Amino acid sequence: MTAFAGGPRIVALLRISAPGRDTTPSARSWCSCGRNLAAFGQRKVAALIADHTRHRAVCPLLTEGKEAA
């Protein structure tokens, strides 16, 4: 038996990189359902963040069991 058996697991992830001045921010939205999107540039990263938030509300892997709660 592993230490993580039955424990929490990562189902979705949003990684944002904003390294500093005069550089291009980037983001990656990943989900166990098969979603794997990337964006580069301030406007596209902001749009991907909003889209990732919407995805979390409708993805069956993330909403599963919430109806019972």
Taking only the tens place, the pLDDT of each residue in 34-56 is 999 999 999 999 999 999 999 99
CB distance 11 to 61 below 8 Å: yes
Amino acid at 33: C
Residue reference for tokens 């995805």: 55
Q: Which of 44, 7, 5 is nearest to 28 (CA)?
A: 44
Per-domain residue ranges for the chain?
Answer: 23-63
- Secondary structure (DSSP) of 23-49: S--EEEEEETTS-EEEEESHHHHHHHH
What is the rounded radius of gyration, in angstroms, for the C-alpha atoms of the chain? 15
Quick one: pLDDT band at residue 7, thresholds 50, 70, 90? low
pTM of this structure:
0.76
